[in-house]
Chains A and B, each alone.
Chain A
Amino acid sequence: MTAKTENKEKRIGLFVCHCGVNIAGVVDVEKVAQVLTDSPGVTFSTDYVYMCSDPGQQMIIDTIKEKHLDGIVVAACSPTLHEKTFREAARLAGLNPYQIEIANIREQDSWVHTDKEKATKKAVKIVKSHVAKARQNENLDPIRVDVTRRALVIGGGVSGLQAALDIADQGCEVVLVERSPSIGGKMIQLSETFPTLDCSQCILTPKMVEVSRHPRIKLLTCHEVDSISGFVGNFKVRIKKKPRYVDETLCNLCAECEKVCPQVVPDEFNMGLSFRKAIYMPFPQAIPGTYTLDAEHCLGLNPVRCGKCKDVCDKKAIDYDMKEKIVEEEVGAVVVATGYDLYTMQALGEYGGEKYEDVVNGLEFERILSASGPTGGVMRRPSDGKVPKSIVFVQCSGSRDTEKHLPYCSKICCMYTAKHAMMYRHRVPDGQATVFYIDVRTGGKSFDEFYMRAVEEDKVLYIRGKVSKIFKEGDKLIVWGVDTLTGKKVEVEADMVVLAMAIVKADGVQNLVKKLKISTDIHGFLAEAHPKLRPVESLNAGFYLAGCAHGPKDIPETVAQASAAAAKVGDLFAQKELLHEPTIVPVNDELCSGCGICVTMCPYAARTLDPARGVVVVKEILCEGCGACAAACPSGAAQQRNQTDDQIFSMLRAMLRE
C-alpha cells in the first residue's frame, strides 16, 4: 500500500463544528476552516454551529452531492460519540461510510486548553493530519457473519432462571448450566423476602418448574463451563459434566438410599446448621428431582467398601462408574449470572472469627427463620438450641470499611436486617432485637415503609454506630459498640448475633472470567460495558451480565437485570446477520515471514500461524482492530485498514510540517 492508493484527485470536504461554545469558545473555528482551504485535496471547507444537528448533517449530505466529494473530515467531538452519525450521513449521500474521518478538536483540544491562539494552532494541526489520512482512505464494507440463535446461561439462581425463561419465551433455545446439583441459587435458601414478606421458595419454585419443563430450555445441573471459543453469534462451548453417580431419569426419590447411607456430612443448603447423608437431595423441591451422590464424602464409590445405597436401589439408578464427560454446545450469546458469596467469618476477627457458634451470618439466619430450615422455623440458636431472648444485628459487617475490609456498600443488608429483626420479633414476641447501623439505606419501592414498620410496629431498637468487638462471657455474647448519636460506648448482652455480611464475588468466578475473557472490577464483580448506558453487556461482544455477579443487588433488581440481559440477547438474535467493523488488520501474504510475533500480540486470538504456508492467517471476525499486531509486525505485512503505516506517516508529516 504505497503511493498507488494515494488518490491525488480525491476531493475532500471539511466541516468544522462549533459545538456551541464548547469548541468555538476556545478554538477560532472560522480560521481553522479558512486555513485548511489551501490544504492539498481540500475542495470545500466550512464551519457550522452544530454539525451533529439535522441541518448540520443535511449540509454534509447536500455538499457531498453538489461538490462530488469523495472524502469527508468532520472536526468535532470524539469519534466515540458521533462517528456513527456522520457515517450514516455519508451513506445517505451515496458515499462509502468509511470515507468519513473525525478530527477530535473538542476533548483533545478545546476542553483541555484555554489559550485561544495556541488551541487554534493545535486544531489546525489535528485537522490537517486527518485530511492527510482521509486522502488515503479506502472504501470498506462491514464484515458479515451469521448468528447462532441459541443462548448459554451460566448460573441457575434467580437471575439465570429469569434470563433463560425470557430468552426461551422469545422463541430461542437456551442451554442453562449450573454447577451444583440443583437450580435455585441463593434465593431458594431465603425464608421471606422484603418488603412484602412473601415466602421465597413459594415464589421461586414456580420459575424453577417452568425452567425444567420449558421445551426450549436444556437444563444442565452438575455441569461447569470448561472452555469457550469463537466470537459473538458463533461460540463453541465445552461444558464439563460432573458425575452425579445417580441416573436422574431412573431415580424415583424413594429415599431408601439415604436411609442406609452411613456417611453424615454438614448440609450446605442449611449452611452447615444441620446434616445430610453422602447420598442426598439438596432440598425437597430440588430440580432436577433426583438424588446425588457426593463423591467427596462417600466411602469410596466402591461396592466392596460400602455399596449400601446401590444394594437398596430398586431402580438400579446408582452407578459408581460414572465418569466426567465433556459436552459441546454451539451458542450465539452468553448470559453470565454466576451470583455471589458472603464475606467469610474468618476475616472478621473482631467479631470472633468463627469462634462463636451463635454469631451467624445473614444466610444462616435465613435458614433458622425458614420453615424448611434446621429448626423447622422455630427460633433457636445453633449452640444449644435455646430460644434467644436478645439478638443483636450488625449491619455493614465487612462492608463500607476502607481500613480493614471492603469499601463498597453491599446494598441489600439494610433491608434484610430490618426483615430479620422483624421476623425475629414475630417469632419471639418478648425478645429484644437491636440493630447497629451506619446508615439505613432504603432506596426502593416500599422499602422505607418496611423499615419504619420494623421500628414502629415491631419495636426494633436501632443504634447508630459500629460494633467494635464481640466476645463470649459465660452463656452470653457481649457486643461492644458505640452510639454515635449520644457519643457513648454501648455494651449489649445478647444470646445471638447476626452479621449482615458483605457480599463478595462468587467463589471460582475468577477462573470463569478468564475462560470467557470478560473483565471484572477491582472487587471481582463483572464489569459492564458502560456504567450508565450499557449496564447489562460486557465489553466483550456477545456476553451479557445479570444479577449479583455484576454487583450486590436485591431480587427485584436482579430479575429486572436478567430480563434486560435477555432482551439484549433478543436484539442480537433478531439480526439477520452480524456486521463487524472492517477496519481490521489483514495479512499481506507476500510480505509475511511467518515469525508469529503478531500471534502473541493479539489479545483476541484472531491470528494463527499457518504452518503449511508459513504465514499468519487472520480470523477477521475476531479482530477488534486494536492495532497491536500492526505495531509489532517487523515486515509491514500487518497493515490496519484505513490506518496503514503510510497513512500514519502522512498524518505525522501533515502535523509536523509548519
Chain B
Amino acid sequence: MKIHYYPGCTLKQKTTALDISTREAMKRLDIELVEPEGWSCCGAEYPLTEEKIAGLAAPIRVLRQVRDEGGDVLVTTCSFCFAVLKRADKAIKDDPLKHKRINAYLRDDIQINPLTKERTTGFEDYNGEVKVLHLLEFLRDRVGYLKIRERLKRDLKGLAVAPYYGCRVLRPQKEMAVDEPDSPRLFEEFLQAVGCAAVDYPFKQECCGSYLSVSLPAAATEASYRVLRSARMNGAKAVAVTCPLCFYNMDHRQDAIKETFLDFTGLPVVFFTQLLAWALGVEKSMLGLGEHRVPADSLFSEAPATEVRT
C-alpha cells in the first residue's frame, strides 16, 4: 500500500524519533510512505479568528498537492499537524466563503522547482478531496488491528502503558470526529493490539501545558506533572504520546517536574510508534531512543520488562 504521509517540521528537526519509528513500523506493515512534494509547514495552530484566512492557505496547499499527486488520503502522526490539516480541510468543505477566499489566495500560487527552475502555475481549486487521517485512525480503519497482530514479532507482555491523547486529537469533536472525547477507545485499542495493557486514568485528554512551555514554563510543568502523576497512580509503567510537544513537556521537562514536585519520581514517555515498531520487530537502534531525556531503554529490552525502575 502506498500512502501520502505528512511528517511536519518538528519531526524533521527536533523529534526525529517519531518520524523514524513511524517509517520503520510502516515498512514492516508493507506500507510505503510518500511525502507530498514541496510540502511546507502546516501553520502549527489552527487560526480561530474568522479573518485569518491566510493561515489556512499553507495546510490547504499541502492537501492540494496530495490531490494533484493522485492521493486521496494523507496520514500524519503529529497531533498539531493533524488538527490543523483536518480542520482546514473541513473548513473548505463546510464554509463556502472560506472555500472561496482560500482558493483565491492559492490560485496565484507559483511553484518553482529549485533544480530546473521550472515554474508551475494554474492550480485547480481544492474542494476537500483528501481525507486527513491520524496514524492511529489509519491503523484502526485502513490497516486493521488484525493485520498488526499477525505481524507482531515481539511480545510486550501486557506492559502497562497510559495512553495520552492530549488536547488536539479528540477535540473539537464535531470537527475532529475521531472518537468520543470523554470516553475514547482509539489509543487504548491500539495499545492492546500491540500487546500492551492500556491504563485507564482521568487525565488522558487533559492539556500538557502546550506552548505555555515557552511563555509560562511553570504552568506547563504543573500541567504535565498532573498527567504523569495520575498515570503513575493508576499503575502505568510508561506514558505513550502522539505529539512532539506533549513529548517535550512530559519528557524533557521531567527534571523540572521532579524539582518542583518532590513526590514525583519519574515515568518514561514514549511515542506510540516506538511501541508499534518494537512490537513489529524493528531493531532498538531505529527507535530514536537517544532523544529521550528520561531513559526509556528498559521498556524495549529483548526480554521485555514488566517492571521498569524509574
Contact = CB atoms under 8 A, between A and B. Distances in A.
A349 interface: yes
Nearest to B201: A471
A473 B233 contact: yes
A213 interface: no
B233 A350 contact: no
A467 to B, nearest CB: 13
A350 B182 contact: yes
Contacts, number: 17
Nearest to B203: A471
A471 B202 CA distance: 6
Nearest to A353: B183
A349 B233 contact: no
A63 B206 CA distance: 81
Contacts of A350: 182
Contacts of A472: 202
A469 interface: yes
A491 to B, nearest CB: 11
B202 A349 contact: no
Contact of B182 (A349, A473, A474, A478): A349
B181 A469 contact: no
A469 B207 CA distance: 13
Nearest to A469: B202
Interface in B174-201: 180-183
Nearest to A354: B183
Nearest to A348: B182
A56 B180 CA distance: 65
Interface string A115-137: 00000000000000000000000
A497 to B, nearest CB: 14
Nearest to B183: A349
A353 B202 contact: no
Interface in B221-246: 230, 233
B263 to A, nearest CB: 13
A8 to B, nearest CB: 60
Contacts of A478: 202
B169 to A, nearest CB: 15
B182 A353 contact: yes
Interface in B147-189: 180-183
Contacts of B182: 348-350, 353
A473 B231 CA distance: 11
A474 B182 CA distance: 20
A481 to B, nearest CB: 15
A421 B234 CA distance: 32
Contacts of B181: 349
Interface in A215-232: none
A349 B183 CA distance: 6
Size bracket of the A interface: 10 to 19
Contacts of B203: 471
Interface in A454-508: 469, 471-474, 478
B160 to A, nearest CB: 18
B147 to A, nearest CB: 29
Contacts of B183: 349, 353
B105 to A, nearest CB: 31
B178 to A, nearest CB: 14
A446 to B, nearest CB: 38
A470 to B, nearest CB: 9
A521 B180 CA distance: 27
Interface centre among B181, B202, B203, by most chain A C-beta atoms within 10 angstroms, is: B202
A28 to B, nearest CB: 45
A355 to B, nearest CB: 8
Contacts of A348: 182
A558 to B, nearest CB: 33
Interface string B97-130: 0000000000000000000000000000000000
Contacts of A473: 202, 230, 233
Contacts of A471: 202-203
Contacts of A469: 202
A353 B233 CA distance: 21
A83 B5 CA distance: 71
Interface string A343-366: 000001110010000000000000
A350 B203 CA distance: 11
Nearest to B233: A473
B134 to A, nearest CB: 20
A391 to B, nearest CB: 20
A471 B201 CA distance: 9
A472 B234 CA distance: 10
Interface centre among B181, B182, B203, B230, by most chain A C-beta atoms within 10 angstroms, is: B182
A478 B230 CA distance: 12
A415 B181 CA distance: 31
A474 to B, nearest CB: 8
Interface in B217-274: 230, 233
A473 B203 CA distance: 11
Interface in A324-353: 348-350, 353
B255 to A, nearest CB: 25
B76 to A, nearest CB: 26
A473 B201 CA distance: 9
Contacts of A349: 180-183
B167 to A, nearest CB: 13
A349 B180 CA distance: 8
A522 to B, nearest CB: 19
A111 B270 CA distance: 69
A227 B221 CA distance: 65
Contacts of B230: 473
Contacts of A353: 182-183
Contacts of B202: 469, 471-473, 478
Nearest to A349: B182
A472 B182 CA distance: 14
A62 to B, nearest CB: 63
A349 B204 CA distance: 13
A234 to B, nearest CB: 50
A353 B202 CA distance: 12
Nearest to A347: B182
Interface string B75-90: 0000000000000000
Contacts of B180: 349
A469 B180 CA distance: 15
B231 to A, nearest CB: 12
A349 B181 CA distance: 8
A352 to B, nearest CB: 8
Contacts of A474: 233
Interface in A582-632: none
Nearest to A470: B202
A349 B182 CA distance: 5
Nearest to A404: B173
B85 to A, nearest CB: 24
A471 B231 CA distance: 13
Nearest to B205: A469
Nearest to B180: A349
B228 to A, nearest CB: 14
A471 B229 CA distance: 14
A635 B230 CA distance: 77
Nearest to B230: A473
Nearest to B202: A471
A513 B181 CA distance: 34
Interface in B271-292: none
Nearest to A474: B233
Interface string A501-524: 000000000000000000000000
Interface of B: 180-183, 202-203, 230, 233
14 contacts: A348-B182, A349-B180, A349-B182, A349-B183, A353-B182, A353-B183, A471-B202, A471-B203, A472-B202, A473-B202, A473-B230, A473-B233, A474-B233, A478-B202
Given A353-B183, A472-B202, 4 more contacts: A349-B181, A349-B182, A350-B182, A471-B202
Smallest CB-CB A-B distances: 5 pairs: A349-B182, A471-B202, A349-B183, A350-B182, A353-B183
